[in-house]
Structure 1
Amino acid sequence: MAALRSGHFHTLSHTPNPSSLSRCSQRAFSASSACASYDDTVQNLRIGKHTRVIYQGFTGRVASTNAKDSLAYGTNIVGGVTPGKSGEHLGLPLLPDLRKAKEQLKPDATAVFVPASQCGKAIEDAIEAEIGLIVSVAEHIPLHDIMRVMSILKTQSKSRLVGANAPGIIAPIGSCRIGFQPLPTFAPGHIGIAAKSGTLSYETVASITRSGLGQSLCIGMGGDIIAGTNLVDALKVFETDPETEGIILVGEIGGRAEEDAADWIKEYKKRVGGKAKPIAALVGGLHAPQGRIMGHAGAWAARGERTAAEKYKILQDAGATMVDHPENFGGVMKTLLSQSGRDVSKITQDAANQKRGYHTLRRRPSPAQQSSRLAAQQQQQRRGLLLRPDQESGPLEPYLSRVEGLSLSQESAPSDSFYIGITVDRTARAPCIATSPTTDPAQLGQRVKRFPYDWRQGPSESAIKEAIEHMQLDAAPPAALAQAKGLIEALSTMYKEKEAVTLSGSISIDNNGNLVLHQPSLVLQFDDAAYRSNKRQEDIHSLRQKDTEVPEEVEAEKDGIVFVKLSDPAANIGTLVNGAGLAMNTVDALRLHGGKATNFLDTGGKATSETVKKSFELILKDERVKVIFVNIFGGLTDGGMIADGVLLAFKEVDMKGTPVVVRIRGTNEEKGQKIIAESGLDLEAFDGFAEAAKRVVELANQ
């Protein structure tokens, strides 16, 4: 431990830990080993003082400013790559390609700071160069680009991916940051944190910093549908890390990462008993509307996936202590550490001894740093195009025509129909066939089974056979069985060619023994990042009809704001939040205080005075709103700027006498709170969430 505190926190791509790797991977920690796998790269996450970091896209404006911040923090940046350029940049070597960078700079990790449209290729280049840790922060990387990347990663055992759409990874012990985390929030210490949401992780970090416990390692899983590193991967690292005394997981609606983590926690506690490190967790989206994408591309539950509330209970039953708001993590973790027999005073004292001047929660970033952070946290946008039933036959027909005897019916599926589709298996990080012997909504969630396959090769004969068997079509006529196989093949082809997220529907067998696909049951969902980032699939995305959507939600998109109108007629609290995860949690936490939100609103990384003003305009279009709650954690967003935005809104927007409660924490929080308090307007400023929420509910009920 003393060596690690001194900064000797080595990346295990160079020095694998024999106790945590299989005998096979000890023998050959490379793709050439017959029994090595992507799982063997998990210990590459243990970054530290001597992790040698390079940048891809090094000379770009965002990368340059980020690198300056990270160098000042103490990160061991040894150079970078910009295609076609060489020489020096920021006083460090600049090389024209990764292969030369690998040979000359011997990096352990690369920070991928290139546009989303180029990220897939950049990550593949890093895999080919066998760089141990690849951190991709960009949002809006097309889903199928990441599925292609993951299909490659799973064939090797040298490179590990963090992200995409993640703040990255940071080791406050060892002063190593690979990503765009807000540095003033972090302090070296002994709590490991893994999170899907950036803003929720920053608020969690701030709570742990205020408690004096500090952080050992923080891993951003990211909010995309597929993550290169998930919660279980982080847990494996935290278990064996001698500097980590307690663990925090931050999840949200969508996928099975939290369920997989719960399974791991149960096995871990059974395996080590009373020696287990305490684990606390939070799940955002408990009150998210069914079927909506809540800001993050991956924040939605597919058929057969658990709700956020169900995942909360599963984690709780596995032994994790559940927290309803991230500002409570500090106090909860202190209690858990004490209950586990650990010396909390020693842990906090040790963390205090490691602090440096840079780790002050209220340190104000320079304008250049703030600009970098706002640019790095790209604006949130709508993710996913869902076609209406009357739009589906056009794109679908060329693929269905390949299945002889299959018919497309305009009638609703009968009660004895079967579910079939192609979607994403987030745990397997791959596309999958999804089938169920029933379409009964009460049973479908429990009976859908997934059969993952390699994105590059398509579904195998055996996977198709198992999927059909799971539908219990054993007694079906031979023609129907052949048509079911043909339908799966046709859908999987369309899935890849049209870059879909989900293609599914209900099928039945007619009196002639042929398969019928029922159009009213169809779900055709496509990844709009393919069009937004790369201008691919224009024919599909030209079908979007904005005039049929909620006007406020469409209007919000123009300003990089994610707005979801919630339907509860009793709701009367408008919410304005920065960050999708924090916005979900705000809606959830208000419920605990007896309030109901009229909307989900994420200003995103481009939160400026103008976007705050626009957010007020959107919220006030809802006649249900009696009070507005502005909940800002200033990780990447400046608290003073948000306060200025609130004042601008009061000057230029008809507030209709609506009171506003503002909670500002984090970067420049004191300035923001002072601006609000001294404004002389109908504004109230608070420091803690509970006090602010209580006041909001009081005003809403008046």
Structure 2
Amino acid sequence: MLPQLSRCLGRSLGAQSRYQCLYSPSPHAKFSTSLQRNGYDDTISNLKIGSHTRVIFQGFTGKQATANAQESIAWGTNIVGGVKPGGSGEHLGLPVLPTVRKAMEVLKPHATGIYVAAHQAAAAIEEAVEAEVPLIVAVAEHIPLHDIMKIHSMLQSQSKSRLVGANAPGIISAIGRCRIGFQPLPTFSPGHIGIVAKSGTLSYETVGSLTRAGLGQSLCIGMGGDVIAGTNFVDALKVFETDDDTEAIIIVGELGGTSEEEAADCIKDYRKRTENPKPIAAVIGGFQAAPGRIMGHAGAWTGIGEGTSESKYRALESAGVTMVDHPAKFGSVMKDLLAKSGRSVKKIENSAQAQQRRSYHTTCCHPIHPLSSPTLQQTRSLHISADHTSSLLKQFNINVSPAPQPSPPSSHYLGITVARTARSPCIIAAPSTSPKALPHRVHRFPFDYCAGPTSSAINAAIAHLQLDAAPPKAKAQTAELIRNLWNLYAEKEAITATVSLTIPSSADTLTIFDPYLFFDDAAYKSNKRQADLHALRSPSDDTSPIEAEAEKAGIVYIPLASPPGRAAAPRNLIGTLVNGAGLAMNTNDVLSLRLSSPPYSTASANFLDTGGKATSETIKTSFKLILADPRVAVVFVNIFGGLTLCDMIAEGIILAFKEVGVDKPVVVRLRGTNEEKGQEVLRRAKLPIKAFDDFEDAVREVGRLANGGSMEE
């Protein structure tokens, strides 16, 4: 076994079942003993799926996998069998094998879809990597971050397997009729536009717009909304650049990380060296995100030194990307771009099954300006008190002192966090703790998760802290502090663990203060690890009872501040109810852009993501949460159905009217799975609801009602 892999897996909890924990790889696993960063890049071509792709499912006999497989097979996906740990026989008329390795020998698949729960998913991914499956698609949400970092330690040392996900809708070839994921199939049509997206719901909006415009899609890659993505924007762009079926490209991004900026650099290089580059358009979500909050997706938060939604927008725009503010515009925008590029629009239109043609608002796009800049730290649902923080640090030989008063002239920022691009942990360091200087002077020093911080990474971080001239004892203490922070980080499954430090002029020892610990809730919620840490949880100062109730119902609800320059408690804001974090962010962005200036004067009151598996009861609870805010004048339900069924959403709205008592105007926009059934359910109910399928029409009606308009007009 690899030394680093042995150390890594040694941190896992004991084996409970084949898919319940990470386990030691078999003697046949072929991983190099050194970290080969270029090795994983060699697997990018594995993303080119199509009619030739032989697919297996892990967790094949489960309810979700069975339903998905039946749909995918009917659509044309070449599913050749699946895996059930210890099982054998047949399912859906296809062979069932006991291990992925056996499935590789017998079925020779090109790809595997992992349809197991989050607490089992990491072990399932690991088994697929060991068996050298070329493409591994993980759709599960809430896989613990540290499990994912262990997986990436394996992936980075091999050149056979490529991961898509986790927390992603998957990957789908509309031309090749190959779906590995849970994308809503009726929305797709074969065409020649490639899509890569962080958000599932925004990608469905994008696909729907292209289909209605008669364009269709080639390959759609769900990057996913986790902190670390197995496949990112740059990886997808490399595929689309050389893909003969792709004539244009769409990027769907959001706040969090730096993948969009890296994509912009990649696009600049591509356009310089290519005579007739493929047109590229993009949308970015999260301009109106609440400062310092995690916006639904695990990775939707801005770390120190990472760009905002606005900076991502500007980076892509400066690279020559055509920016839109809502994905419903992509159909008409891509038609124009293809025509200007001299590429054949007719050829693409003829290949698409444009069963839902509809014109969309196509005014010139312009940037959306955020209400405020992000704070340095993230508000999270797992919060422990300052006393518990100090006590926890002390367990790892880190003694915290009160912040020096007055503020020391020279203080330093140091910790362990995630390097999203490197797909690994890193030392984060800055020679200043000044709020103005810190974002610009912070630097990350990645290291392999299983090996821990190397001496070279530690020494580089100390040099960046400008402690080269510090007394030897202080430098040694800083190195020891980094190792202790790493021990805490790994054992307690933190996302970020940082401190400030200074060296008093009268001593050569460190003064450590202002600790910040940001933990991964999924470790407990999915795998029941860190129970002792979770037991210390206390309500955060800015978590209201409403937010606590939302969390219990599986809803992400975040109240937004009133727009600047307005009364502290306006009475004409919009309560939003949306399925999907990316769509919820974009909905708030567009409402602000369209309705914050005359003839309207309103904005969103909240961010609310019902989740991808919302039920009628979830919708009822969502109405209760929204209507508890006295600032709300109108409720806007914006749904694009994937797994979420539009008729079920409609039933939930009716339930809310019956049991919650809805005394505000309601505007509903339904698109996607069962949209016609949902609209019919609302019509039959004969409730005071304005229903639309066009997003722009719905937004205008919301603005009118929020500013005193009557439902009868």
- 2:534 equivalent to 1:528: no
CA distance in 2, matches of 1:671, 1:72: 22
Residue 650 of structure 2 aligns to which amino acid in structure 1?
Answer: A
CA distance in 2, matches of 1:186, 1:347: 14
Which residue of structure 1 lines up, in the alignment, with residue 102 of structure 2? 100
1:541 corresponds, among 524, 528, 534, to 534
Shift in CA distance, 399/607, structure 1 to aligned 2, threshold 3 Å: same
Residue 200 of structure 2 aligns to which amino acid in structure 1?
Answer: G
Moved more, 637-646 or 453-462: 637-646
Which residue of structure 1 lines up, in the alignment, with residue 191 of structure 2? 189
SS at structure 1 position matched to 2:478: helix
- Alpha-carbon displacement from aligned partner over 1:279-321 (angstroms, at most 9, x marks no partner): 1111111110121011111110111111111111111111111
2:151 corresponds, among 149, 152, 158, to 149
2:248 corresponds, among 225, 240, 246, to 246
Q: Is the 8 A contact 1:52 1:106 kept in 2?
A: yes
TM alignment of 1:532-681, pairs within 5 A = 532-546=525-539, 548=541, 549-568=543-562, 569=568, 570=570, 572-594=573-595, 595-655=602-662, 657-681=663-687
Which residue of structure 2 lines up, in the alignment, with residue 419 of structure 1? 413
CA distance in 1, matches of 2:53, 2:293: 40
Which residue of structure 1 lines up, in the alignment, with residue 394 of structure 2? 397
Q: Is the 8 A contact 1:677 1:684 kept in 2?
A: no
Q: Is the 8 A contact 1:184 1:361 kept in 2?
A: no
Q: Is the 8 A contact 1:411 1:518 kept in 2?
A: no
TM alignment of 1:445-594, pairs within 5 A = 445-519=439-513, 521-546=514-539, 548=541, 549-568=543-562, 569=568, 570=570, 572-594=573-595
CA distance in 1, matches of 2:169, 2:532: 33
Q: Is the 8 A contact 2:223 2:230 kept in 1?
A: yes
- Alpha-carbon displacement from aligned partner over 1:621-645 (angstroms, at most 9, x marks no partner): 1111111111111122222221221
- Alpha-carbon displacement from aligned partner over 1:408-429 (angstroms, at most 9, x marks no partner): 3354653531111100000000
CA distance in 1, matches of 2:78, 2:509: 61
Residue 193 of structure 1 aligns to which amino acid in structure 2?
Answer: I
- Alpha-carbon displacement from aligned partner over 1:72-92 (angstroms, at most 9, x marks no partner): 111111111111111111101
SS at structure 1 position matched to 2:497: strand
Which residue of structure 1 lines up, in the alignment, with residue 301 of structure 2? 300
Residue 530 of structure 1 aligns to which amino acid in structure 2?
Answer: A
SS at structure 2 position matched to 1:214: coil
Q: Is the 8 A contact 2:58 2:115 kept in 1?
A: yes
User: How big is the shift at 1:360?
Assistant: 7.3
CA distance in 2, matches of 1:616, 1:324: 27
**5+ long unaligned stretches in structure 1:** 1-29, 363-381
- Alpha-carbon displacement from aligned partner over 1:93-150 (angstroms, at most 9, x marks no partner): 1111111111111111111111111111111111111110000100111100000000
- 2:273 equivalent to 1:279: no
CA distance in 2, matches of 1:54, 1:234: 22
Which residue of structure 1 lines up, in the alignment, with residue 16 of structure 2? none
Which residue of structure 2 lines up, in the alignment, with residue 686 of structure 1? 692
CA distance in 1, matches of 2:446, 2:279: 33
TM alignment of 1:83-98, pairs within 5 A = 83-98=85-100
SS at structure 2 position matched to 1:637: coil
- 2:352 equivalent to 1:351: yes
Which residue of structure 1 lines up, in the alignment, with residue 216 of structure 2? 214
- Alpha-carbon displacement from aligned partner over 1:422-452 (angstroms, at most 9, x marks no partner): 0000000000001111111112111111000
CA distance in 2, matches of 1:533, 1:131: 25
Residue 305 of structure 1 aligns to which amino acid in structure 2?
Answer: E
1:127 corresponds, among 126, 129, 134, to 129
Q: Is the 8 A contact 1:384 1:526 kept in 2?
A: no
SS at structure 2 position matched to 1:507: strand
Which structure dedicates a bigger proportion of its chain to helix? 1
Q: Is the 8 A contact 1:408 1:516 kept in 2?
A: no
- Alpha-carbon displacement from aligned partner over 1:6-51 (angstroms, at most 9, x marks no partner): xxxxxxxxxxxxxxxxxxxxxxxx9679976100000000001111
Q: Is the 8 A contact 2:613 2:643 kept in 1?
A: no
Q: Is the 8 A contact 2:194 2:240 kept in 1?
A: yes
User: How big is the shift at 1:540?
Assistant: 1.1
User: How big is the shift at 1:407?
Assistant: 5.4
Shift in CA distance, 471/215, structure 1 to aligned 2, threshold 3 Å: same
CA distance in 2, matches of 1:50, 1:545: 53
Shift in CA distance, 517/46, structure 1 to aligned 2, threshold 3 Å: farther
CA distance in 1, matches of 2:357, 2:183: 13
- Alpha-carbon displacement from aligned partner over 1:389-412 (angstroms, at most 9, x marks no partner): 3331111112135xxxx6533546
Residue 334 of structure 2 aligns to which amino acid in structure 1?
Answer: M
User: How big is the shift at 1:688?
Assistant: 1.5
SS at structure 2 position matched to 1:290: coil
CA distance in 2, matches of 1:407, 1:637: 48
CA distance in 1, matches of 2:72, 2:511: 55
- 2:332 equivalent to 1:331: yes
Q: Is the 8 A contact 1:361 1:666 kept in 2?
A: no
Moved more, 235-244 or 659-668: 659-668
Q: Is the 8 A contact 1:304 1:445 kept in 2?
A: yes
SS at structure 2 position matched to 1:454: coil
CA distance in 2, matches of 1:550, 1:518: 32
Residue 255 of structure 2 aligns to which amino acid in structure 1?
Answer: I
- 2:430 equivalent to 1:436: yes
Normalised TM-score (structure 2): 0.87
Q: Is the 8 A contact 2:170 2:180 kept in 1?
A: yes
Which residue of structure 1 lines up, in the alignment, with residue 25 of structure 2? none
SS at structure 1 position matched to 2:194: strand
Moved more, 591-600 or 406-415: 406-415
Shift in CA distance, 349/33, structure 1 to aligned 2, threshold 3 Å: farther
SS at structure 1 position matched to 2:219: strand
1:697 corresponds, among 695, 703, 711, to 703
Shift in CA distance, 260/386, structure 1 to aligned 2, threshold 3 Å: farther
User: How big is the shift at 1:689?
Assistant: 1.4
CA distance in 1, matches of 2:554, 2:380: 12
- Percentage of matched positions with identical amino acids: 60
Residue 511 of structure 1 aligns to which amino acid in structure 2?
Answer: S
Residue 589 of structure 2 aligns to which amino acid in structure 1?
Answer: D
Shift in CA distance, 151/691, structure 1 to aligned 2, threshold 3 Å: same
- Alpha-carbon displacement from aligned partner over 1:321-369 (angstroms, at most 9, x marks no partner): 11101111111111111111112122212335xx8xxx8799xxxxxxx
User: How big is the shift at 1:471?
Assistant: 1.2
Residue 617 of structure 1 aligns to which amino acid in structure 2?
Answer: K
CA distance in 1, matches of 2:632, 2:158: 54
